[in-house]
Structure 1
Amino acid sequence: MSQIQCQVDSITPLAGAVYQVILTPAQPVSFYAGQYILVHMGENDKRPFSIANAAFDNHKIELHIGADENNAYATEVLERMRHDGSIAISGGHGEAYLQSNGQPIILIAGGTGFSYTWSILQQALKDHPHTPVSLYWGGKNTNDLYLYDELSKLADEHDQFNFIPVVEFAEDDWSGRTGWVHHAVVADYPSLSDVQVYIAGRFEMAKAARDDFSARALPQTQLFGDAYAFI
């Protein structure tokens, strides 16, 4: 797959060390909602980031990059973008993209894994307006859920969409769900046999979710996540 040069239009803080990056590619990037791009840092150094925008909006590429001081892998990418004002990418990559078959969709995100589910959510609301979609987004605290207000508004506007925020370390004034995000799904669904699940987050979470969801009768053919190509 050939590389595409992109102009870096903006790098905007979203929350803490999470940044929204907007790229304008020299030509539209062909991808499916839920795929990722590779940022080409060198001939043998290509780093994956989920595409946050929907596939119907491919004149740009939106990324949500978590780049704290302990994450040189992502921080170096942001530094290159800021310094050069452009970056080479390729995509879309990955097999965990939206493959709606009419079954209800459950999206599960941990932290900046949200960008993967954000792309799928926007595409699903446009292309499959009668398919129920539930998004479970987990963060260590409420500040990690940086699009909380926008998602709450979307849930008010779309009857088929349900937003379930989950906070691991809740503040005293938090009245929502707490704990691990995939445990909230297990609590809500005695059976997962007739749904599709799309998940993005840390490998440990994806592995634990796969085991727990299998016990809830979720067929492996209805579970999607880039992590499952490696674990």
Structure 2
Amino acid sequence: MTYTITIDPSGRQFSAQPDETLLAAAIRQGVPLPYGCQDGACGSCKCKKLQGEVLHDPYQAKALSEQEASAGLILACRAHAQSDLRLESRQVGAADAFPVKRLPVRVSRLQRATPDVMILHLQLPASDALGYHAGQYVDVLLRDGSRRSYSMANAPHFQALAPGLELHIRHLPGGLFTDHVFGAMKEKEILRIEGPHGGFYLREGSNKPMILLASGTGMAPIKALIEHLRFKNIERPTTLYWGVRRPSDLYLNDWIAAQCADMPMLRYVPVVSDALPEDGWSGRSGFVHRAVLQDFPDLSGHQVYACGAPVMVQAAQRDFAAAGLPADEFYADAFTSALDKLGA
């Protein structure tokens, strides 16, 4: 039996079999539902069930609380349709979204940004362009069939000059892919990628002031958003908050300072959580999302773009809502590692 799934408010539709998850069916038919881990660990694919019935595979409680489930929220990566469905997901774009492609890419440069962050430059095939929105991500397809997701850190308009992608990769010791990146990977190596994916991109129809919120390498898609703002001459007041553990982790500090010098509407607030005395840090400290609330106790008139660790994204979404941020003005992309998927 086949069921029809309708997504509000975009009106997009796709069909799903009971033996496949809603997310798998949507990806198969080119409908860009947001997602991250695909394993019920991060909550990125959360959407609201308006009509119909679903059956969930097991998932982690941190991804979908009992209160959220009681309110009708579901996880598309674990939910199976048991009837026709009407869902609400404001991150689903129109039918003219960029097509998802699988492409070979060549490693053109490995740039060590910090001891545990590598900037990976990938050359795209000259014969096959990859269209995407600033903020979206690609999956790196590994030989064992698994995949790792990384946001593009360069805005799409750069493709006209030199087709290629910039990915920011943090080393997770024991990680199948990151151990290779920081160990045996060499320039000219060939990888395979799939994308673009994700609903994390700038909503240009709004004039609201923006908060850009990043933790760690969650700065990658935020960098692409800033490049896009500059390219399109968008002058909405924008404040960037970047949270890291120590000052040395602010690997784009000089780049951000240069953007601020040329973009009067852009303000930058770095936040360090675990500075040591020898760091000599005199700036903002603590949790990065709390720094936002200290500066903006009323977020009712703002729009937020958040990217980074799931715990940061989830805390920001909860606390920003309490500060008046409308639910449909919070756009997020949570970076979920293999450890997150295992519940570690």
- TM-score calculated relative to the size of structure 1: 0.92
Greater mean deviation of Cα atoms: 188-197 or 123-132: 123-132
SS at match of 1:12: strand
- Alpha-carbon distance between aligned partners in 2 of 1:129 and 1:3, rounded to the nearest angstrom: 32
Q: Is the 8 A contact 1:96 1:226 kept in 2?
A: yes
Residue in 2 that maps onto 1:205: 312
Which range moves more in the overlay, 69-78 or 21-30? 69-78
CA contact 2:308–2:335 (8 Å) conserved in 1: no
The number of residues matched between the two structures is 230
2:235 corresponds to: 130
1:143 equivalent to 2:231? Answer no
2:153 corresponds in structure 1 to 52
| Larger helix share, 1 or 2 | 1
Taking the aligned partners of 2:230 and 2:172, their CA distance within structure 1 comes to 32
State the secondary structure of the residue aligned to 1:42.
Answer: coil
SS of the residue aligned with 1:225?
A: strand
2:109 aligned partner, one-letter code: S
Deviation string 1:53-74 (CA, Å, 9 cap, x unpaired) is 0121132100010014244443
| Higher mean displacement: 219-228 or 50-59 | 219-228
Structure 2: segments with no counterpart, 5+ residues: 1-99
- Moved runs in structure 1, 4+ residues, more than 4 A? 77-81
**1:120 and 2:225 correspond:** yes
Could you tell me the percent identity over the aligned residues?
32
2:294 and 2:186 mapped to 1: Cα distance? 43
Whole-Å Cα distance in 2 between the matches of residues 24 and 47 of structure 1?
18
8 Å Cα contact 2:106-2:188 kept in structure 1? no
Map residues 72-221 of structure 1 onto 2, 5 A cutoff: 72-76=176-180, 81-82=185-186, 85-100=189-204, 101-172=206-277, 173-221=280-328
Q: How far does the alpha carbon of each residue in 1:182-201 deviate from its partner, in whole angstroms, 9 at most, with x for none?
A: 11101111211111111111
Offset at 1:128?
Answer: 3.9
The residue aligned with 2:131 is 30
Q: Which residue identity lines up with residue 11 of structure 1 in the other structure?
A: L
Greater radius of gyration (CA): 2
TM-score when normalising by structure 2:
0.63
Determine if contact 1:121/1:133 at 8 Å carries over to the other structure: no
Quick one: higher RCO (CA 8 Å, sep 6+), 1 or 2? 1
* Amino acid of the structure 2 residue aligned with 1:224: Y
RMSD over equivalenced CA pairs, Å: 2.2
Contact 1:41 1:77 in 2 (8 A): no
Is 1:16 the counterpart of 2:119? The answer is: no
Structure-2 separation of matches of 1:79 and 1:92 = 27
